Amino acid sequence: EPEVTQTPSHQVTQMGQEVILRCVPISNHLYFYWYRQILGQKVEFLVSFYNNEISEKSEIFDDQFSVERPDGSNFTLKIRSTKLEDSAMYFCASSVRGQVWAGGINEQYFGPGTRLTVT
């Protein structure tokens, strides 16, 4: 069964460093998402991406964050200058179509996550 993959599984970085988290969505999916989950807290939406542009973003997704689809398979989340509070599990997800479309709802498939630890 096709699945979303993410690398690395765990990343440790120093405060102020740039990190890039990588995701390979399911191949026929067109919509991509990043979520994060700080330890012990809710899963929070960061950004959705379609047709090479951001379609929606949360207030968490400030200028320190950016997303990119550099080629036909990868989807990346970059944090320019990491802070301690960026430590979290970052989940990538993808769906065939947008979350809500004329034909119905598309479920999002989640990857296994990257645990980011900022020291």
Contacting residues toward other proteins, per CB under 8 A: 4, 31, 33, 35, 41-45, 48, 50, 55-56, 58, 89, 91, 98-100, 105, 107-113
Our CB check for other proteins shows the closer of 14 and 104 to be 104
Question: Which residues lie closer than 8 Å to 91 by C-beta, 6 or more apart?
Answer: 6, 34, 35, 36, 37, 43, 110, 111, 113
Choice between 11 and 112, CB closer to other proteins: 112
* Amino acid identity for residue 71 in this structure: D
Q: Is residue 118 within 8 Å of residue 11, measured between CB atoms?
A: no
In the complex, least distance from residue 86 CB atom to other proteins, rounded to whole angstroms: 18
The residue among 14 and 41 lying less far from other proteins, judged by its C-beta, is 41
CB of 2 to other proteins, least distance (A): 13
Residue 57's beta-bridge partner residues? 47
Smallest gap, in angstroms, from Cβ of residue 80 to other proteins? 22
Q: Closer to other proteins by CB, 15 or 38: give it.
A: 38
* Distance between CA atoms of residues 12 and 105, nearest Å: 36
Q: How far is the CB of 37 from other proteins (least distance, A)?
A: 9
Q: How far apart are the C-alpha atoms of 32 and 96, rounded to whole Å? A: 9
